[in-house]
């Protein structure tokens, strides 16, 4: 046994001597050249080609690395035996990923590709303004040489698109608002954000189903229309104008649009924006795949119709205060001096349809107003507001959606229900158009009695009847007052009419009276 250990020690000594001799005869440069030559010969005869995708490219993060990591975390691609779990910031979903030095096989257009996640220790770093991670991470993609020209470019583009889709799906949507007074946050951004948790969807939105389907198809065509907008030379954006009485669901419509498309919302408060240049900066800081909202635009700043005469301006007294501080758009001066709000109509139009509106892509502009007649026609034309959506009073089809949302009522139960409910619903259908109640008012009645379905429907019918009766009496009163005003106006015109020959009128009256007496004698 001792002889074996002696022989083994002698062999180790010989190996150590040979290693020292090789290092002396073959310097490191020569050994590196031999290894490089060996790898080149190996790759020359190999049927595969390899592509390395590192986590950090120089000092910048490699976007393709993050995209590959997200793509391989999709449920379709999870086939590895050991996976890592991650949850990103502002995300409600858990994603899967490859563990260190693990291998996974993927399929694209009938071609097999192999991904390997390689993690190695980074060598000691020199002084740097941006310290690098201790570990060097990267992916290695292996493809057969005959398939390289067929799938490489299209495969990487597919990975980028798939990663963006996964990122939007996993990340919680955000609701942004511009900072008060144009101040910047700690990162130098003029927008403040909170997680967007509004539950409104098109399924729960109280609106005519045909109109709702039309809006959904238009949104889907916009989201899938990148090639169309590029081919036609149009900016990839679209404008929606929501108008109607208060309480008809304009804000719920915006939330449903955001949840349907998976877009973030930028709620722009125009009263906090002082100049056109500040408005442009806010627009440049918005991201793609977003909805930019200006609610109650007729109340935010003066956007009145320029074609209507302005009675507040007196030629002797000079311009009004609104014109002096720049909030009136009729001036069109565009000066951004002074402490007041100097946003002009031209600046707002450039914000929605000018050159500055093209600094991003796939964005939707939504304006809301209760009085569309107060807005300038230049703001309403196609290209700025492409689709005008009237949010009307609650109809019977909209009421069915509210009954389903608050009372769990559906059409199958309506067909199989008792006759009493059918009679009540029939009465509601006949009176709901005359009542002119908003979905918000109807919802309030249903919420109070949501635990008793029959009571809720009966009380709703009573409220609708009272509302219809009140509207009818108001309409009759308006008609009567209009008639009285017309008669009074006619009397005033008759009294104020100039050059009336009263002698001629009296002679005509005497002649008429004489003719009447002669006819009586006959």
Same domain, 194 and 63: no
* Residue 93, pLDDT score: 63
Same domain, 425 and 445: yes
* Residue 472, pLDDT score: 83
Residue 339 has pLDDT above 50, yes or no: no
Sheet-wide strand order for 264-267: 191-195, 174-178, 264-267, 290-294, 363-369, 237-243, 387-390
Domain holding 261, by residue range, is 175-300+344-390
Alpha-carbon distance 473 to 480, whole Å?
A: 11
**Any domain includes 161:** yes
**Any domain includes 34:** no
Task: Look up the pTM and report it.
Answer: 0.64
Same domain, 183 and 289: yes
Residue 326 has pLDDT above 50, yes or no: no
| Residue 402 CA from chain centroid, whole number | 24
| Residue 223 CA from chain centroid, whole number | 11
Residue 360 or 144, more confident: 144
Pull the structure tokens for residue 179: 């900072």
* Residue 453, pLDDT score: 86
**Any domain includes 29:** no
For residue range 177-195, list pLDDT tens digits in order: 987 766 666 556 788 888 8
Q: What angle do CA 173, 177, 182 make, to 5 degrees?
A: 145
Same domain, 385 and 420: no
Quote the number of domains for the chain.
3
Same domain, 49 and 191: no
**Any domain includes 378:** yes
Residue 174 has pLDDT above 60, yes or no: yes
Q: What is the 3-state secondary structure (H, E, C) of 139-167?
A: EEEEEEHHHHHHHHHHHHHHHHHHHHHHH
DSSP per-residue codes, 54-78? ESEETTEE-HHHHHHHHHHTSTTT-
Same domain, 475 and 459: yes
Same domain, 248 and 266: yes
Q: What mean pLDDT do residues 293-309 have?
A: 68
**Any domain includes 480:** yes
Phi, psi of 379 (to 5 degrees): -85, -15
For residue range 90-114, list pLDDT tens digits in order: 556 666 667 777 788 888 888 888 8
For residue range 46-56, list pLDDT tens digits in order: 788 888 888 87
* Mean residue pLDDT across the chain: 77
Same domain, 115 and 186: no
Q: Residue 278 CB: number of other CB atoms within 10 A?
A: 18
For residue range 455-496, list pLDDT tens digits in order: 888 899 999 999 888 888 877 766 666 676 776 677 677 666
Alpha-carbon distance 47 to 230, whole Å?
A: 40
* Residue 393, pLDDT score: 93
**Any domain includes 455:** yes
Residue 418 has pLDDT above 60, yes or no: no
DSSP per-residue codes, 15-45? HHHHHHHHHHHS-HHHHHHHHHHHHHHHHHH
Same domain, 382 and 422: no
Q: Which of 390, 423, 449 is the last residue of a domain?
A: 390
Alpha-carbon distance 211 to 209, whole Å?
A: 5
Same domain, 376 and 273: yes
pLDDT category, 414, cuts 50, 70, 90? low
Same domain, 218 and 136: no
* Residue 312, pLDDT score: 46
**Any domain includes 220:** yes
**Any domain includes 439:** yes
pLDDT category, 506, cuts 50, 70, 90? very low
pLDDT category, 64, cuts 50, 70, 90? confident
Same domain, 244 and 382: yes
Query: For residue 285, which of 164, 354, 193 has the smallest C-alpha distance?
Result: 193
Residue whose pair of structure tokens reads 């000594």 in the numeric block: 13
Q: What is the CATH number of the domain that holds 243?
A: 3.40.50.300
């Amino acid at each position: 046994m001792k002889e074996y250990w002696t022989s083994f020690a002698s062999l180790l000594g010989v190996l150590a001597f040979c290693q020292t001799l090789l290092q002396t005869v073959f310097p490191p440069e020569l050994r590196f050249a031999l290894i490089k030559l060996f790898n080149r010969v190996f790759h020359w005869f190999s049927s595969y080609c390899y592509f390395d995708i590192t986590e950090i490219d120089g000092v910048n993060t490699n976007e393709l690395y993050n995209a590959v990591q997200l793509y391989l975390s999709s449920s379709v691609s999870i086939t590895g035996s050991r996976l890592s779990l991650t949850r990103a910031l502002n995300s409600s979903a858990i994603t899967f990923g490859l563990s260190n030095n693990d291998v996974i096989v993927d399929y694209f257009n009938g071609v097999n590709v192999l991904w390997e996640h390689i993690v190695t220790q980074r060598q000691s770093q020199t002084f740097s303004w941006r310290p690098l991670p201790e570990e060097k991470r990267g992916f290695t993609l292996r493809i057969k040489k005959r398939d390289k020209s067929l799938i490489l470019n299209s495969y990487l583009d597919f990975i980028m698109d798939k990663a963006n889709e996964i990122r939007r799906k996993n990340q919680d949507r955000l609701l942004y608002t511009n900072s008060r007074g144009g101040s910047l946050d700690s990162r130098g951004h003029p927008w403040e954000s909170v997680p967007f948790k509004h539950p409104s969807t098109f399924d729960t939105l109280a609106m005519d189903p045909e109109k709702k389907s039309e809006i959904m198809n238009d949104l889907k065509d916009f989201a899938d229309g990148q090639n169309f907008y590029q081919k036609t030379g149009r900016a990839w954006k679209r404008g929606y104008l929501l108008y109607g009485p208060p309480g008809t669901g304009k804000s719920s419509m915006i939330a449903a649009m955001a949840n349907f498309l998976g877009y973030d919302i930028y709620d722009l408060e125009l009263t906090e924006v002082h100049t056109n240049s500040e408005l442009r900066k806010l627009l440049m800081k918005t991201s793609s795949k977003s909805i930019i909202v200006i609610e109650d635009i007729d109340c935010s700043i003066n956007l009145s119709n320029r074609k209507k005469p302005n009675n507040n301006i007196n030629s002797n007294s000079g311009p009004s205060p609104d014109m002096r501080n720049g909030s009136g758009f009729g001036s069109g001066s565009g000066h951004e001096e002074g402490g007041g709000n100097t946003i002009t109509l031209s600046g707002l139009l450039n914000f929605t349809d000018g050159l500055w509106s093209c600094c991003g892509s796939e964005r939707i502009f939504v304006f809301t107003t209760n009085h569309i007649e107060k807005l300038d026609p230049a703001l309403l034309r196609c290209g700025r507001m492409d689709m005008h959506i009237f949010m009307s009073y609650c109809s019977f089809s909209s009421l069915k959606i509210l009954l389903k949302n608050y009372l769990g009522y559906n059409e199958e139960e309506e067909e199989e229900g008792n006759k009493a409910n059918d009679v009540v619903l029939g009465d509601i259908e006949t009176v709901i158009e005359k009542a002119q109640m908003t979905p918000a008012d109807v919802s309030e009645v249903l919420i109070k009695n949501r635990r008793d379905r029959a009571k809720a429907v009966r009380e709703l019918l009573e409220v609708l009847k009272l509302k219809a009766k009140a509207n009818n009496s108001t309409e009759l009163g308006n008609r009567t007052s209009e008639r009285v005003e017309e008669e009074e106006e006619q009397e005033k015109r008759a009294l104020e009419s100039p050059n009336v020959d009263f002698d001629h009128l009296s002679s005509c009256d005497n002649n008429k009276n004489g003719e009447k007496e002669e006819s009586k004698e006959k």
